[in-house]
Amino acid sequence: MAAAHTPTYSTRLLAPDTWQDFAALVDRHNGVWGGCWCMGFHPEGVKNAQSAQDNKTAKRAHVDRGTCHQVLVYADAECVGWCQFGPPAELPHIKNSGAYAKELDLLPDWRIGCIFTASKHRGRGVARAAVGAALVAIRAAGGGTVEAYPEQSRGRPPQRGAYFHTGPEELYANFGFVRQRKIAKWRWVMRLTVSADQREG
């Protein structure tokens, strides 16, 4: 049997010139979760009263203002996934924020927020490419402590990727993130310290 085709991916940052690629991916997925447009972690959050169009407009405004860090993953010319990251002021709303605050020792320099792979491209390393590129961007921006808030997948029935809103633990463990504390039955704070890129520009 012929070996399965393993796609290679390229990455770019979400910016005004890549907005259309991101928007096409979100539109193909009905706005993602009914129209959140990846706004849940941003200061505005996703309120029930907001429409999908409001969320799209708010996201575009973040991109235009430069208050949004996000890696886009491409298979050829098609954007097939993303990884959002940023300092806590940019991404203040994490899931289980009450439990998170209870044992908070220090805020991280960076958070990884929303992660998403197009439904037809799951299980082929898109999220891995997205997180890898986000860590490269964080290193280039000076590094520091990075937190992710993934879900435990071991010790429970297999979960569809669709329910891993913040990604599975293995995705981050493979980059060296370690469990810091539990904030929900299946959700952990995981941390990684990333050093600054020492290369001269």
For ligand COA, the binding residues (CB under 6 A) are: 32-33, 36, 40, 81, 114-117, 122-128, 153, 159-162, 164-165, 167-168, 170-171, 174
Which phi-psi region, left, alpha or beta, contains residue 114 (left: φ > 0; alpha: ψ -120 to 50)?
beta
Element (H, E) at 33: none
Sign of CA dihedral 14, 11, 86, 119: positive
Whether 85 and 41 have beta carbons less than 8 Å apart is answered as: no
The single-letter DSSP state of residue 181 is: E
If we measure between CA atoms, which residue out of 140, 161, 108 comes closest to residue 11? 140
Please report how close the Cβ of residue 57 comes to ligand COA at its closest, in angstroms.
18
Beta bridge partners of 44: none
Q: Which is nearer to ligand COA, 41 or 110 (CB)?
A: 41
- Crossing angle between the packed helical segments 19-28 and 52-65, to the nearest 10 degrees: 160
Minimum CB distance to ligand COA, residue 158 (Å): 6
Q: Which residue is nearest to ligand COA (CB)?
A: 161
Q: By C-beta, is 15 or 118 nearer to ligand COA?
A: 118
Closest distance to ligand COA from the beta carbon of 175 (Å)? 9
Write down the least CB distance from residue 140 to ligand COA, Å: 22
Q: Which is nearer to ligand COA, 7 or 144 (CB)?
A: 7
d(CA 50, CA 40): 12
Closer residue to ligand COA (CB): 120 or 199: 120
Q: Kindly tell me which of 128 and 187 has the beta carbon lying closer to ligand COA.
A: 128
CB-nearer residue toward ligand COA: 110 or 116: 116
**Considering the complex, what minimum distance in angstroms separates the CB of residue 96 from ligand COA?**
14
Q: How far is it, in rounded angstroms, from Cα 54 to Cα 38? A: 12
Question: What tokens does 150 get?
Answer: 């993934």
Q: How far is the CB of 105 from ligand COA (least distance, A)?
A: 27
